[in-house]
A and B are shown apart, each in its own frame.
Chain A
Amino acid sequence: MSTALPALLRLTGARGWRWALAAILGALTVLFGVGLMATAGYLISRAAERPPILSLMVAIVAVQFFGLGRPALRYLERLWSHDLALRMLGGVRARFCARIAPLAPAELAGYRAGDLLSRLVGDVDALQNLYLRGLGPPLVAVLAGAVAVGAAAAVLPAAGAALAGGLLAGGIGVPALSGSVGVRARRRQAAARGALAAEVIELMRGAPEIVAAGAEVAALDRVRSADRAAVATARRDALAGGIGDGLGIVVTGATVLAVLILAVEASATGRLDRVLIAALALLTIAAFEAVAPVAAAGRELAATVAAGRRVLEVIDREPRVRDPAVPAAPPAPPVTLALEGVTARYPGQERPALRDVSLTLAPGERVALVGPSGAGKTTVVNLLLRFLDPEAGRVTLAGRSLTEYRQSDIRRLIAVAGQESHLFSAGIGANVRLARPQASDAEVERALRLARIWDWVSRLPDGLDTWVGEEGRQLSGGQRQRIILARALLADAPVLVLDEPTAHLDPPTAGQLMTDVFAAAAGKTLLLITHRSEGLDLVDRVMQLPGR
């Protein structure tokens, strides 16, 4: 934990004084509560000696001061610490974005699958709790605890020692104990819960077939038995898991008892003014407010640091693809792109994704790249865009290796409509316009027409502003594909790469689409990656990638 924390603090970008102020406000809030109870105890004890009322005024004013000050401090502390958390959230997101941009997609290949990426993003967002629910409460406990112990020790040194022992037990011992009990229980339960989740997922996914096959009873029994196992473990673990709060109360009680015994004894032997017994006892009870949130904070902190580690693991990677120190001038179109004996491998992969492939795209040439899935067709795209550098051989643009150019200069020349292309949660128009933000509505319309989807878009009530949904989920597979295609056409780059543009389309539509796209791309270099037959009659050359 100790090694990751400084790096995480840097990543959040929060300034030290903001942290310090938050912790001081938190400690003062607790201490005003302590002060209120202690002065109130003193006031009542002193009053019992029947002094003139005027001599009680200082104590009365102190009680009112602490009483009115505490809510104000609490208010400020909450505002300030939430502001800090929100600042940290913004800072960490921006830094994360900047750091992963040069890594995507080749070095994040492992995160494309399933929901790993969204989990990673969740980890990034979790870092906002680093202070609020993680480091803050222990910091406040140390500050406020130290002052309270000092005050108690000033009155009666032995009572100060007892309070210190009690706060340490309550602030470190109890959280550590309940934490380790919790960790052990979670570890025990993880297997049972995992098995149960797997059964539930499988049954939900397979429900139509299970029902159609009449296999409901057996399937339900499997879930039932996994459920029984998980519930039985959890019920056992609940006995130990619920121990934290109760122990905290017992520790508080023991400390109050110890302080009372010490104070009564000291008062009896004349070492302590009797009016201070109540103040000491009430101070002790109130001081435990400082350590109450530490247990929960410990759990949060462990979870947050674990999340932070996963984030650091990603962003600490050095991007392998880098711009040269002195980039070559971008070549003027028309340009020739070529793979020369290229072998390529994704970072961390055992097998190369592509082995010894050569391919030349002369200006204006139309080439189809076919091959079984897994043959490395999409890797060719990643190589051309220089998302990935070859392990052997080279990729060239106008005869020079891609590594000699600035990356942005290369990408300006190539427009890709691929299976991996992302639709943003925005309108159709905004998604298309991403390729060329300054494009006019008429140009966007033209691109959509060429992709054979304008008729559909124009009939939508919101037209170009129709929201495509998260990752384009409001659209059908075919509609998504055509909008991605329109975007690539709008980019108006001299080289157009189409990766499986007709998946999800029925044969007549696919055929028409290919005819239109080839017409629209007249004069451009075109690389068509496909495993279907549509469009193969329109290309100059078909190149077969062997399966692995």
Chain B
Amino acid sequence: MRALDPRLLRRTSAARPLLVLDAALGIATGLAVLAQGTLIALIIARAFAGRGLHALVLELALLGVAFAARGGLAWGMEVAGRRAAWTVLSELRLALVARRLGADPLATDGVEGAELATVAVQGVEALEGYFARYLPQVVLASVVPLLVVAWVMVVDLEAGVIMLLTLPLVPVFMWLIGTYTEERTRERWQALRQLAAHFLDVVRGMPTLRAFGRDGAQAELVAAVSERYRRATMETLRVGFLSGSVLELAATLGVGLVAVSAGVRLAGGGLGLQAGLTVLVLAPELYLPFRRLGAEYHASADGLAVAERLFGLLDAPGAAGASGARIPPSPAEVPVVLENVSFAYPGRPAPVLTGVTLELLPGETVALVGESGAGKSTVAALVLGLLEPDGGRVAIGGIDLRDCDRAAWRRHVAWVPQHPVLLRGTVADNIRLSAPGAAPWQVRTAAALAGADEFIGALPGGYETLVGDGGRALSPGERRRIGLARAFLSEAPLVILDEPTADLDPDSVTTVTRAVRRLGQERTMLVIAHRREVVAAADRVVTLVDGVALTPGERRAA
């Protein structure tokens, strides 16, 4: 069980000050604990000696202050921890978002937006548990027992020695049993996750099970699998829970030994009542922080898991590489050439492209065809600089794209993906994505050229209709046309279209095909396509097969 991920200290600004503050509050808490124990013993001993209530007012008032101080300190630690959790997560969140916009826009790390939002926004609960509950306990467990033992040594050396002897038992036994059970506990968690996945799978597949008449036995099957899991888990827990019990045993044994030894010496006259009571009241405080630390173990594990997930994402190498500094020439003047480019997605064994050579001359329209999974969209991402080739290069008029300023290059390229994303905002804002300063008439012209003017006009708010998450839903064909309008508005000399007519109804196909032809008249264009209509408009057709590009007449080398 690691207490702190060093990356939290190194890479976030809030964790280090929190540790310093917690240490200070922890020492103050320890002192309040000593004051509290000593005062309780003092009050009882004096009452025992016959003093009345009026003679103990000051002591009782001081005891009240000690309790209030402990409460206030606990509150302070929790507030500081919660605030730190938010600050830390905010920093990590913005770093992740910035990374997605820089090093890895295509999400080759396989992390979907929704999953990331869950970790990077809702993960704050776990981090709060870690910073506000677990970390303070770590500090208290390292400060309070030391102060208690030191003070007890002063009050009664023998009780102090007993405590010193039992105290190391706790971490030693916890460590011994912990290392023995950790592996198995992890296995059980793994099994639990698999069991949950199996159950979800059965529920999801229930219509299929019913269709094939296999629904009858599922409940018993789920019950049997769960029962088997319960037996195996209880087996592990029988050993696993021993570690908690050893801690408990050390605590009760310590208190008991201190009480009996103090009692015997008191009876023999070797010890005063106040000293005996002081060590007795303080004895449980010695073990309490460890017990609470154990109870907050899950808070620690959950919080560290969130941190680890986020750091794992931040530290993964990006697929887009770093931007160069050279200003690339315009593809209206120079050819764009893929020279023997190979590429493999991280985590997938087989490369998508093994040696693609492809030339886009100024003004021509090239259609790129091939089976699904052949790497057509990968070619588009490589030309855009969203991915960096593993081998070979993308050359702009002879200059390697790696050496070029990425932002400057992307101003030369317009891209219409298969499923254009609508950002929250108006239709006009969405068309203006790459040209935020465009005038309304320019937006309208672009929309008209893309064949989008008509349906936008029919929307209740026209160009001011809100779309995207929470706004009006648009059909795939309408979204495709918004994407085309973006390309018309951008005036970039190179346009990349990904499956512009896939999954569209016949009417939309006609409109979109017309728009594509119009776009290709003025610019260099790379069209990824299935459809005959679109392919027919191309100057050249290139086929991707087994990771290489074939031009017509070429056959696969045997």
Assuming the contacts A63-B256, A203-B97, A249-B70, asked whether A282 and B43 have C-beta atoms less than 8 A apart, the reply is no
Q: Which of B97, B113, B208, B213 contacts A412 (CB 8 A)?
A: B213
A477 touches B116 (CB 8 A): no
Known: A53-B264, A211-B410, A235-B83. A253 touches B273 (CB 8 A): no
Whether, in the assembled complex, B469 has its beta carbon less than 8 Å from a beta carbon of chain A, the answer is yes
B146 within 8 A of A: no
B220 CB within 8 Å of chain A: yes
Partner of B259, one of A44, A196, A286: A44
- List chain A residues, Cβ under 8 A from B264: 47, 53, 56
Question: A37: shortest Cβ distance to chain B, in Å?
Answer: 7
For A51, what are the chain B residues with a Cβ–Cβ distance below 8 Å?
267
Chain A, 140-166, CB within 8 A of any chain B CB: none
B113 touching A203, Cβ below 8 Å: yes
Question: Which residue of chain A has the shortest Cβ distance to B65 in the bound complex?
Answer: A253
Q: Could you tell me the distance in whole angstroms from the C-beta of A471 to the nearest C-beta in chain B?
A: 7
Q: How far is the CA of A204 from the CA of B436 in the complex (A)?
A: 20
Docked Cα-Cα span, A220 to B413, in Å, equals 21
Interface size in chain A (residues, C-beta < 8 A): 147
Counting chain A CB atoms within 10 Å of each CB, which of B230, B259, B386 scores highest?
B259
Which of B87, B117, B198 is the most central at the interface, judged by chain A CB atoms within 10 Å of its CB?
B117
If the complex has contacts A211-B101, A264-B47, A434-B208, are A44 and B277 also in contact, measured as CB distance less than 8 A? Answer: yes
A93-B222 in contact (CB<8A): yes
User: Interface with A: B118-126, B300-308, B549-557, which one?
Assistant: B118-126
Interface stretch of the complex, out of B56-64, B329-337, B354-362, B394-402: B56-64
User: CB within 8 Å of B: which of A240-279?
Assistant: 241-250, 252-254, 256-257, 260-261, 263-265, 267-268, 274-275, 277-278
Contact of A277 among B48, B112, B227, B433 (CB under 8 A): B48
Contact residues of B: prevailing secondary structure: helix
Across the two chains, which residue of chain B brings its CB closest to A411?
A: B213
On whether the beta carbons of A220 and B98 are closer than 8 Å, the reply is yes
Which residues of A from 110 to 125 have beta carbons under 8 Å from B?
115, 117-118, 120-121, 124-125
Residues of A within 8 Å of B246, CB to CB, are 71
Q: Which of B211, B216, B470, B490 has the most CB of A within 10 A?
A: B211
Cα distance, A282 to B267, chains bound together (Å):
20
Chain B residue numbers with a CB within 8 Å of A74 are 244-245, 248
| Chain A residues, CB < 8 A from B74 | 245-246, 249
**Contact A253–B256 (Cβ < 8 Å):** no
Q: Tell me the complex Cα distance, A215–B423, Å.
A: 11
Q: Which A residues, 181 to 227, have Cβ-Cβ distances below 8 Å to chain B?
A: 193, 196-198, 200-216, 218-220, 223-224, 227
Asked whether A177 is an interface residue with its Cβ less than 8 Å from the other chain, the reply is: no
B149 to chain A, nearest CB (A): 18
Smallest CB-CB separation from A423: which chain B residue?
Answer: B205
Which residues on A sit within 8 Å (CB–CB) of B101? 203, 207, 210-211, 216, 219-220
**B interface size (C-beta, 8 A):** 141
A197 and B255 contact, Cβ closer than 8 Å, known pairs A212-B386, A260-B40: no
Q: Is B199 an interface residue when CB atoms closer than 8 A count as contact? A: yes
**Which residues of B, 207-259, contact A by the 8 Å Cβ criterion?**
207-216, 218-220, 222-223, 226-227, 229-230, 233-234, 237-238, 241-242, 244-246, 248-249, 252-253, 255-256, 259
- Cβ A505 vs Cβ B372 within 8 A: yes
Q: Which stretch (B414-422, B446-454, B455-463, B510-518) binds chain A?
A: B414-422
B230 touches A247 (CB 8 A): no
A36 touches B252 (CB 8 A): yes
A interface residues (Cβ-Cβ under 8 A, vs B)? 33, 36-37, 40-41, 43-48, 50-53, 56, 59-60, 63-64, 66-68, 70-72, 74-75, 78-79, 82-83, 86-87, 89-91, 93-98, 100-101, 104-105, 108, 115, 117-118, 120-121, 124-125, 193, 196-198, 200-216, 218-220, 223-224, 227, 230-231, 234-235, 238-239, 241-250, 252-254, 256-257, 260-261, 263-265, 267-268, 274-275, 277-278, 281-282, 285-286, 372, 385, 387, 408, 411-412, 414-416, 420-425, 434-435, 470-471, 476-478, 487, 491, 504-507, 509
11 contacts between A and B (CB under 8 A): A68-B253, A75-B241, A203-B113, A212-B415, A246-B72, A249-B74, A253-B70, A268-B53, A415-B212, A422-B207, A504-B372
Known interface pairs A93-B223, A208-B415, A424-B201; 5 further A-B residue pairs with C-beta atoms within 8 A, sorted by A's residue number: A45-B277, A93-B226, A207-B100, A211-B105, A257-B63
